[in-house]
Amino acid sequence: MSKILVLDIETTGFLDQGGSIVEIGIVELCLETGYTEIIFDSLLKEDILSAKHREKPMGWIFRNSDLTPEEVRDAPPATEVLAKVQQILDQYPLGCTAYNKQFDFGFLSDRGLRIKDLPCPMLLATDICRLPNNYGYNNYKWPTVEEAWEHFFPTIKYDELHRGADDAKHEALIVYELYKLGLFKLN
């Protein structure tokens, strides 16, 4: 058993703002080979979704990706999608991670999902990327997915789409690089 999951969600805002999950992508990563496969990619519509989720301070996803409010309005109900996600999570005993997992797993835990979580690649990449902190602190800033990608794959251009499955696939490749360095470890 060397397969883990890398998950990415897209939302209309932050959890403490009342943000709504609108998309979930899940990629299987084989830690022996680095092979990745998208195993889940779905939009979803939560009952809390309303017109306020399209406007500032919400609605970031609609301004920064090709996702439209109409697509989310016509998406399958969240209860159905989240049940499928839980079934997938339960099939991977080694666990799951997400880039900035506190954000993604915070939403999913709030929605009742149980996750065997693995280390956060964003936090692990911080001391590797060594990006200056612009807030005057002595520590390094947390790298964005694009910044970590540029560090590990400097010759391969990547513009983050802010779409669940595509983001998760690129994040899985970053996880694999961290694993090869001995930094990403299974619990």
Residue showing tokens 């990006």 = 131
Given a cut of 80, is residue 132 above it in pLDDT? yes
Instruction: Walk me through the domains of the chain, giving residue ranges and CATH numbers.
Output: 3-180 (3.30.420.10)
**What are the φ/ψ torsions at residue 112 (nearest 5 degrees)?**
95, 5
Q: Look at residues 163, 178, 181 and name the one whose alpha carbon lies nearest to residue 38.
A: 163
- For the stretch 48-84, pLDDT in tens is 999 999 999 999 999 999 999 999 999 999 999 999 9
- For the stretch 77-101, pLDDT in tens is 999 999 999 999 999 999 999 999 9
Task: Provide the 10 A C-beta neighbour count for residue 172.
Answer: 27
Query: Using CA atoms, how far apart are residues 37 and 23, in angstroms rounded to an integer?
Result: 17
Q: Which alpha helices (DSSP H) does the chain contain, by range?
A: 60-63, 69-73, 78-90, 101-110, 121-129, 145-152, 164-180
- For the stretch 5-31, pLDDT in tens is 999 999 999 999 999 999 999 999 999
46: confidence class by pLDDT, cuts 50, 70, 90: very high
Q: Which residues pair with 141 in a beta bridge?
A: 131
- Give yes or no for a cis peptide into 132 (omega within 30° of 0): no
